[in-house]
Amino acid sequence: MKKGQNRENLVDQCIVARGGGIGMARIKRLIDLPKVQLNRSDPTPLNRQIERQLRELILSGDLRAQMRLPSTRQLADGLGCSRGTVVGAIEQLIAEGFLISSSRSGTFVVGPLRAAVDRRGDKQAARPVKPVRLSHLGEFLAEARRPTYRPGTAFSTGSPDVADFPFGRWSRLCRSVWRQPPLDAVYNQDPAGYLPLRRAIAAYLHDTRGTRFEPSNVFITSGSQQGLDLVARLLLNEGDLVWMEEPGFIEARYALRSVGAGAVAVPVDSEGLSVTEGRRRAADAKLAIVTPSHQYPMGMIMSYARRMELLDWARQAEAWILEDDYDSESRHSGAPLPALQALDADETVIYMGTFSKALFSSLRIGYLVLPPRLMERFCRARYNLDPFTSLMAQPVLTRFIEDGHFATYIQKIRRKFAARRESVVAAARDYFGDAFEFQGDKAGLYVTAVFSGPLRGRPDDEAARKALAAGVVVAPLSSYYQGPPTAQGLILGFGSIDEKTSRAGMATLSSVIDR
Amino acid sequence: MKKGQNRENLVDQCIVARGGGIGMARIKRLIDLPKVQLNRSDPTPLNRQIERQLRELILSGDLRAQMRLPSTRQLADGLGCSRGTVVGAIEQLIAEGFLISSSRSGTFVVGPLRAAVDRRGDKQAARPVKPVRLSHLGEFLAEARRPTYRPGTAFSTGSPDVADFPFGRWSRLCRSVWRQPPLDAVYNQDPAGYLPLRRAIAAYLHDTRGTRFEPSNVFITSGSQQGLDLVARLLLNEGDLVWMEEPGFIEARYALRSVGAGAVAVPVDSEGLSVTEGRRRAADAKLAIVTPSHQYPMGMIMSYARRMELLDWARQAEAWILEDDYDSESRHSGAPLPALQALDADETVIYMGTFSKALFSSLRIGYLVLPPRLMERFCRARYNLDPFTSLMAQPVLTRFIEDGHFATYIQKIRRKFAARRESVVAAARDYFGDAFEFQGDKAGLYVTAVFSGPLRGRPDDEAARKALAAGVVVAPLSSYYQGPPTAQGLILGFGSIDEKTSRAGMATLSSVIDR
């Protein structure tokens, strides 16, 4: 046979077995086997061409159930290829269940495939599908608000600006690391992540936060939310109670809900979470989630005395404390208090940090510092849910820290964010005077303007809606409360906006908020 | 004041208020304020030096509760620095709750801090901590076996060898992508991941697996286990039943257990999962987890007829099918059957794939192809648990696929793994003859040797233990069964070993398994 020749009539017969099973098929009549054509200019191997065309003929109904194929020798002769080529195709179709072979009576199309062919027809007719219900948890989560961040828009929170991030350096480190990657990065099996990164984090936290722990207690996560989710799943049972700051990071309730744990709102005052109130509301809670370095969203630092009270409670109640140090890298000045972790003599504190706020949010690398008594169990348990965080960025981040680029960058953005905070506060003073009261420490990527003076008691959600309609994004303080809000105000993010945008945004805010 | 001068006597007074509260403190007596020293050759700003030393004095008990500090002017004079510097330090300590300020009576050390000081003492004495209990789920997970892979050891499964992976090219793509990263990679907010990668996956699956769906239905995950975990959490309620292949990927039960769903073992035969048995055991199951392209671990392809039966059941039962195509890239020859997804007219199939087997396991990028009716709800729900998979590798992988490197690499490793499979099977024939029966299609990174002939019925776990003692890793087939195993055998991985290691491993196996 020559390349390209028309083989229309070369494979032209097929025998249908009727009655009885395949094994005892009786030959009834010859029919035409529709065309199989080999195209030798196609790079697809010949056996794949045969296989694909036979499969299509079966699916289309051209080769019907219980048809017997010509012998492989006949097919090979007809197609002008080797018998081995045909055998390869037939074996594949047998493996796939389209054909069945019997040494006594030959190779047959498996039947019935009628339903299947009908189905394909149906599919083209686009049968309407039913609306869907997720699990109870799924429905709860899917109904939740999904905030959209708008980098560059006043006063969107969430994504810090990366204008100064040294992507050139970062990309060179990527190249350098991955050109000949360390084998323990390629073949990682440690649920806690890349050990050199854990060492770098331990050293960094020791220097900046006064913590004391071994690198082996750092547990790399794919960000704070995953960390929180793991803590909830591995430590809480259905019905367990959890202290949450009020107002606070209410998104934590999703993780709690996923295990059926209950969130207990515990008010914060100027010293942070009120342990006295917590004891009154749920003395036997199993976990307290706190932001002692920079309360979210009120911004105060938890006082030393309060820290000790909280640790005392946790020891007595045999509870855990999740210390969420979500933005410790973006403090503008001053060393914050030593972390709770540093004061914990009883292995009750789980410290949680992230690189998303300091570097860029799509990096998705965070960490837990686990008490030694939890470490091995967390590793084993995590391994069976989501084995470990990708090693793609971990060695790159390690080099970024070790080579000093991280510290340099942090210094730079601290100055930048401090200046931006000043701009926002100054613009607010100009436009709002004493109607905005600024609380909290000079840190982070947002300020909380509490309504006071002429705005005291005014609904902040209405203000936020009007602002949004005018193109300014502000989060109402009341949305951070689980219960009735005791204050109204606006969260003003400045992580991604310059001074000009900030002043313009404030002017817009001023024009839409009556007072 | 001059640099380095001893300031021992400069700050020398402090007033203790006794009786009454801070507000109405009566001044009782003067005491010595222990030394605060500024070191101008230290790069730490002066306010930070003052702040840190005062904090230490309070924590150490040298400055006791209710002591009144000298005025900021006195302190500044005494220390030879500006009053602003002192004010900065004092404000920080007030914010941290160490000091309290009253406009009438001055600045005082907050009390009582006695317990705190005791605590620090305790910590040094290393008080013993209690043993820990995790949640019920946590305990279940932490007790589970955590297989360790040993790349390069016969016949370890899990991590394919990366000897041929083009890390040079990969690292250049990293550099190229991250030098000036696309903004939607830096500021990603899409829970489903990086759209160009989703497009590349849709095109690839269309070409290789016959699937038909929009790129918008690809949902990037941090690997198959996370995908499975999400499916379980978002689709299953407590008490729901799930068909699992028997033998099969029993690790799936961890995800099921996490939501209280029940695993129903449904036997596989030569055509794959027995739908008839499934209907008999749990007709109203909510999900079936199947590996139709290459059953894990028996290796057969699910027949076309069986696929249609399964789809029919899912439509009738309003159940979901999770099609786990865990190693479709490592098929050695032949196009596998079109995916179940391609035959699904009712939006019941969730297709799950991963890049871990084809590229390297620490990459942690997988995907789900979701029915359109699930897509938006999964996005919203996931956002509140673990917002999205890191964008660090996604644009790099996109380029790797788009530029054709992925296809080239897959071709290369297919040939390699086909040859390795041949080596293992040939060595097994030489050493074990008909005592090993090889089942399954020519695909994947392992073969399953079922005990037959003289080994039939022999306990495979004992064989595996003996092998391990002799340095050869084999997984017993019986460990893939939830119920009593109906076959014994060994799973022989060849993803990371060359022919020589394979033959040597087989010789060792032969020497420790009596027959």
- DSSP assignment of A18-81 equals ESS-STT-EEEEEEPPPP----TTSSS-HHHHHHHHHHHHHHHTSS-TTEEPPPHHHHHHHHTS
Residue A124 has pLDDT above 50, yes or no: no
Residue with tokens 């059941």: B313
Q: Which of A225-234, A505-514, B23-32, B224-233 has the lowest mean pLDDT?
A: B23-32
Q: B357 is written with which tokens?
A: 């087997």
Q: Which of A193-202, A271-280, B143-152, B247-256 has the lowest mean pLDDT?
A: B143-152
Nearest alpha-carbon partner for B371 in A244, A444, A294, A127:
A127
Q: Mark yes or no for CB contact A390/B343 under 8 Å.
A: no
Query: DSSP label at A111?
Result: S
- The per-residue b/e assignment along A27-40, b for 16 or more CB within 10 angstroms, e otherwise, is eeeeeebbebebee
Q: Mark yes or no for CB contact A131/B373 under 8 Å.
A: yes
Residue A340 has pLDDT above 60, yes or no: yes
Of the residues B55, B137, B211, the best mutation for testing chain A's interface (the one with the most A CB atoms within 10 Å of its CB) is: B137
Q: What is the mean pLDDT of residues B79-105?
A: 82
Q: Does B142 touch chain A (CB under 8 A)?
A: yes
- Nearest by CB to residue B390, choosing from A167, A170, A222, is A222
Residue with tokens 């005014």: A458
ipTM surpasses cut 0.90: no
In angstroms, the CA A159 to CA A493 distance is 9
Q: Mark yes or no for CB contact A393/B392 under 8 Å.
A: yes
C-alpha distances in Å from residue A33, one per residue of A52, A61, B39, B405: 15, 12, 96, 40
- Nearest by CB to residue B345, choosing from A119, A141, A300, is A119
Residue B278 has pLDDT above 90, yes or no: yes
- Are B289 and B322 in contact by the 8 Å Cβ rule? The answer is yes
Question: Of the ranges A110-124, A329-343, A393-407, B32-46, which is most confident?
Answer: A393-407
Q: Which residue of B has its CA nearest to A212?
A: B123
Show Cβ contacts of residue A503 under 8 Å, excluding neighbours closer than 6 positions: A423, A427
Q: B215 is written with which tokens?
A: 């790129």
Q: Does B308 touch chain A (CB under 8 A)?
A: yes
Nearest alpha-carbon partner for B385 in B288, B283, B264, B259:
B259
**Percentages (nearest 5) of helix, strand, coil residues in chain A:** 45, 15, 40
Q: Does B65 touch chain A (CB under 8 A)?
A: no
- Between positions 395 and 424 of B, the ones with CB within 8 A of A are 396
In angstroms, the CA B351 to CA B358 distance is 17
pTM: 0.84
- The per-residue b/e assignment along A133-157, b for 16 or more CB within 10 angstroms, e otherwise, is ebbebbebbbebeeeebbbeebbbb
Average pLDDT, chain A: 85
Q: Mark yes or no for CB contact A389/B251 under 8 Å.
A: no
pLDDT for the residue numbered B246: 97
Q: Does B29 touch chain A (CB under 8 A)?
A: no
Q: Which residue of B has its CA nearest to A110?
A: B305
pLDDT for the residue numbered B32: 41
Prior bond to A182 cis, omega within 30?
no
Return left, alpha or beta for B260; rule: phi > 0 is left, psi -120 to 50 is alpha, else beta.
Answer: left
- Chain B residues touching residue A301 (CB < 8 angstroms): 95-97
Residue A145 has pLDDT above 50, yes or no: yes
Q: What is the pLDDT of residues B310-320, one digit of tens each?
A: 999 999 999 99
- The per-residue b/e assignment along A317-330, b for 16 or more CB within 10 angstroms, e otherwise, is bebbbbbbbbbbbb
Q: What is the mean pLDDT of residues A166-185?
A: 96
Q: What is the mean pLDDT of residues A214-232?
A: 96
Q: Mark yes or no for CB contact B229/A144 under 8 Å.
A: no
Q: Mark yes or no for CB contact A168/B179 under 8 Å.
A: yes
Q: What is the pLDDT of residues B188-219, one digit of tens each?
A: 989 999 999 999 999 988 877 778 789 999 99
Residue A326 has pLDDT above 90, yes or no: no
In angstroms, the CA B442 to CA B299 distance is 8
C-alpha distances in Å from residue A434, one per residue of A381, A461, B156, B392: 52, 20, 69, 44
- Are A263 and A251 in contact by the 8 Å Cβ rule? The answer is no
Q: Cα-flanking dihedrals φ and ψ of residue B127, to 5°?
A: -55, 135
Q: Which amino acid, residue A156?
A: S
Q: Does B43 touch chain A (CB under 8 A)?
A: no
Question: Of the ranges A331-340, B23-32, B284-293, which is most confident?
Answer: B284-293
- Are A356 and A157 in contact by the 8 Å Cβ rule? The answer is no
Indicate the burial class of A312 (C-beta count within 10 angstroms; 0-12, 13-18, 19 or more).
middle
- Nearest by CB to residue A335, choosing from B52, B222, B303, is B52
pLDDT for the residue numbered B1: 38
Helix spans in B82-166 (H): 83-95, 114-124, 136-143
- Are B370 and B382 in contact by the 8 Å Cβ rule? The answer is no
How near does any CA of chain A get to the CA of B97, in Å? Answer: 4
Q: Which residue of A has its CA nearest to B299?
A: A95
Greater confidence (B28 vs A107) lies with A107
Indicate the burial class of B300 (C-beta count within 10 angstroms; 0-12, 13-18, 19 or more).
buried
Q: Does A439 touch chain B (CB under 8 A)?
A: no
Task: Count CB atoms within 10 A of the CB of residue B235.
Answer: 26
Task: Count CB atoms within 10 A of the CB of residue A251.
Answer: 16
How near does any CA of chain B get to the CA of A408, in Å? Answer: 15
Residue B24 has pLDDT above 70, yes or no: no
Average pLDDT, chain B: 85
Query: For residue B373, how many C-alpha atoms fall within 13 Å in the half-sphere facing its CB?
Result: 14
Q: Does A189 touch chain B (CB under 8 A)?
A: yes
pLDDT for the residue numbered B357: 85
Nearest alpha-carbon partner for A129 in B349, B496, B377, B36:
B349
In angstroms, the CA B230 to CA B85 distance is 53
Q: What is the mean pLDDT of residues B32-60?
A: 78
Cα angle A374, A379, A383; round to 5: 145
Q: What is the mean pLDDT of residues B150-157?
A: 89
- Chain B residues touching residue A305 (CB < 8 angstroms): 97, 110, 112-113, 116
Using 50, 70 and 90 to split pLDDT, how confident is the model at B431?
very high
Residue B389 has pLDDT above 80, yes or no: yes
Of the residues A301, A355, A385, the best mutation for testing chain B's interface (the one with the most B CB atoms within 10 Å of its CB) is: A385
In angstroms, the CA A297 to CA A250 distance is 10
Reduced to 3 states (helix: H, G, I; strand: E, B; else coil), residue A90 is helix
Q: What is the pLDDT of residues B327-364, one digit of tens each?
A: 877 666 555 567 898 889 899 999 999 998 889 989 99
Task: Count CB atoms within 10 A of the CB of residue A306.
Answer: 22
Query: For residue A124, how many C-alpha atoms fall within 13 Å in the half-sphere facing its CB?
Result: 5
Of the residues A46, A47, A178, A300, the best mutation for testing chain B's interface (the one with the most B CB atoms within 10 Å of its CB) is: A178
- Nearest by CB to residue A334, choosing from B48, B129, B371, is B48
How near does any CA of chain A get to the CA of B136, in Å? Answer: 7
Q: Does A392 touch chain B (CB under 8 A)?
A: yes
Residue B50 CA, distance from chain mean position: 44
Cα angle B301, B440, B158; round to 5: 100
Reduced to 3 states (helix: H, G, I; strand: E, B; else coil), residue A154 is coil
How many A/B residue pairs have CB atoms within 8 Å? 361
How near does any CA of chain A get to the CA of B348, in Å? Answer: 9
Residue with tokens 């002591």: B67
pLDDT for the residue numbered B330: 67
Strands B14-18, B67-68: pairing is antiparallel
Nearest alpha-carbon partner for B493 in B456, B515, B467:
B467
Nearest alpha-carbon partner for A487 in A248, A254, A285, A315:
A248
In angstroms, the CA B167 to CA B170 distance is 5
In angstroms, the CA B128 to CA A514 distance is 60
pLDDT for the residue numbered A89: 87
Q: What is the DSSP string of B198-262?
A: HHHHHHHHHHHH-----GGGEEEESSHHHHHHHHHHHH--TT-EEEEEESS-TTHHHHHHHTTPE
Q: Does B342 touch chain A (CB under 8 A)?
A: no
Of the residues B53, B132, B180, B352, the best mutation for testing chain A's interface (the one with the most A CB atoms within 10 Å of its CB) is: B132
- Are B390 and A366 in contact by the 8 Å Cβ rule? The answer is no
Query: For residue B459, how many C-alpha atoms fall within 13 Å in the half-sphere facing its CB?
Result: 5
Residue with tokens 């926002």: A424
Query: DSSP label at A331?
Result: B
Q: What is the pLDDT of residues A31-73, one digit of tens each?
A: 345 468 888 888 788 888 888 888 878 777 777 777 788 888 8
Q: Does A361 touch chain B (CB under 8 A)?
A: yes
Residue B18 has pLDDT above 60, yes or no: no
Q: What is the mean pLDDT of residues B262-269?
A: 97
C-alpha distances in Å from residue A458, one per residue of A450, A464, A474: 10, 11, 15
pLDDT for the residue numbered B205: 87
- Chain A residues touching residue B188 (CB < 8 angstroms): 361-362
Q: B33 is written with which tokens?
A: 């304020």
